[in-house]
């Protein structure tokens, strides 16, 4: 007796493996997160994120041109603002001449086809490093939503294709959608960070933007757990994603990536909009550190992780590996 089905026949060589491969990866799947700093000619290395930099607008635009040539069609923008512009209201976030607004305009002028998705959250603008306005030691939801809506409209005015609220306040998607519509920005999309977990994987990112919660002379929450999600929860993530779609989100995101692929699949099955995944700074830094030690093959691990994120259901992968992965894929 011999087996009628020999599954290994479909693994015989790379040609047949590629022919029957269920999941594919391309540079068009990627979104590249970029950190922008004040000044000109600035390129500051981020020690906890090897290969990543804070660049001034001129350097950011040059990098965007290189990404476009590699086939990457979307960027996610974060800014590091000067300390003297930070307060507890976040008002610099909707300054029409602010760093974010100037960056959006510069990118769209240089590479009109690049999809620009600026981050919408108050932590880069907050003296306390929180995503919301603080009163009496608490993050105030509705006042923060008002600020986020003003911020989103200013991004749309600057030329953003999508706004990307990452704050996890309740009701902000509906408020932002209504704000965009009432100001005539009917075609500006919303990519909502719907299932953003309170994760320790964000550490290097907070170094990059100096956006970790700060010690203060007034009472402030010591962490972001009153608004970011408990990583023990699954059903909550599905509920958050469905709520955001009903409120007008065009894309929903799960963040972080590799440790949350079960959530990615469940959200993908629950909604009828594209699902984005953010492979975050800690995930990136761990691969870089292990590769530097010679413990892992950098490129093989990078490509395996990206493929696994795509396989789990991601339509878009926001990753610091985007440029390196695109170079490999283009070969």
Q: Which residues are annotated as a binding site for Mg(2+)?
A: 240
pLDDT digits 0-9 by tens, 38-95: 999 999 999 999 999 999 999 999 999 999 999 999 999 999 999 999 999 999 999 9
* Active site (catalytic) residues: 196, 255
Query: 30 falls in which pLDDT band (50, 70, 90)?
Result: very high
Total Cβ atoms within 10 A of residue 269: 10
Is residue 73 within 8 Å of 107, Cβ to Cβ?
no
User: What is d(CA 303, CA 309) in angstroms, rounded to the nearest whole number?
Assistant: 10
User: pLDDT tens digits for 175-204?
Assistant: 999 999 999 999 999 999 999 999 999 988
- What are the structural domains, with CATH classification, of the chain? 29-330 (3.20.20.70)
CA distance 42 to 39: 6
For residue 285, pLDDT beyond 60? yes
Residue 172 has pLDDT above 80, yes or no: yes
Predicted local distance difference test score (pLDDT) of residue 245? 98
The pLDDT assigned to 217 comes to 56
Q: What confidence tens digit (pLDDT) does each residue in 233-256 have?
A: 999 999 999 999 999 999 999 999
CB 184 within 8 A of CB 214: no
* Cα-based angle 302, 212, 233 (whole degrees, multiple of 5): 65
**Range scoring the smallest mean pLDDT among 5-9, 268-272, 290-294:** 5-9
For 157-171, the pLDDT digits (tens) are 999 999 999 999 999
pLDDT band at 210 (very low <50, low <70, confident <90, very high): low
Residue 116: CB atoms within 10 A of its CB come to: 25
pLDDT tens for 79-125 read 999 999 999 999 999 999 999 999 999 999 999 999 999 999 999 99
| pLDDT value for 4 | 87
Over residues 261-275, the pLDDT tens digits come to: 999 999 999 999 999
Q: Is the pLDDT of residue 142 over 70?
A: yes
| CA distances from residue 247 to 163, 271, 280 in whole angstroms, order as listed | 14, 13, 26
pLDDT, the chain, mean: 95
Q: Which residues are annotated as a binding site?
A: 240
Residues whose CB is less than 8 angstroms from the CB of residue 64 and which lie 6 or more positions away in sequence, other chains included = 34, 75, 107, 110, 111, 114
């Amino acid at each position: 007796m011999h087996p009628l089905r020999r599954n290994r026949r479909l693994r015989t060589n790379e040609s047949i493996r590629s022919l029957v491969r269920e999941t594919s990866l391309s540079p068009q799947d990627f979104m590249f997160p970029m950190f922008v700093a004040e000044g000109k000619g600035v390129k500051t290395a981020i020690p906890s994120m090897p290969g990543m930099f804070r660049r001034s607008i001129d350097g950011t635009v040059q990098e965007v041109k290189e990404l476009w040539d590699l086939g990457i069609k979307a960027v996610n923008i974060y800014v590091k603002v000067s300390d003297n512009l930070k307060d507890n209201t976040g008002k610099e976030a909707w300054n029409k001449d602010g760093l974010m607004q100037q960056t959006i305009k510069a990118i769209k002028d240089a590479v009109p086809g690049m999809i620009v998705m600026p981050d919408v959250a108050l932590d880069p603008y907050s003296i306390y490093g929180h995503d919301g306005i603080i009163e009496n030691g608490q993050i105030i939801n509705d006042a923060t939503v008002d600020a986020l809506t003003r911020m989103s409209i200013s991004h749309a005015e600057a030329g953003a294709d999508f706004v990307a609220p990452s704050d996890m306040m309740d009701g902000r998607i509906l408020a932002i959608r209504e704000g965009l519509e009432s100001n005539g920005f009917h075609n500006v999309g919303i990519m909502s960070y719907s299932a953003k977990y309170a994760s320790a994987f964000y550490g290097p990112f907070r170094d990059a933007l100096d956006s970790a919660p700060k010690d203060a002379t007034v009472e402030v929450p010591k962490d972001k757990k009153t608004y970011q999600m408990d990583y023990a929860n699954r059903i909550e993530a599905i509920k958050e994603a469905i709520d955001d779609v009903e409120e007008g989100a065009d894309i929903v995101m799960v963040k972080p990536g590799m440790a949350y692929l079960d959530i990615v699949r469940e959200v993908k099955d629950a909604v009828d909009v594209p699902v984005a995944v953010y492979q975050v700074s800690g995930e990136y830094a761990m691969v870089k550190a292990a590769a530097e030690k010679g413990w892992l093959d950098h490129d093989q691990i990078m490509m395996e992780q990206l493929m696994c994120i795509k396989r789990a259901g991601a339509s878009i992968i926001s990753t610091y590996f985007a440029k390196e992965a695109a170079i490999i894929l283009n070969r």
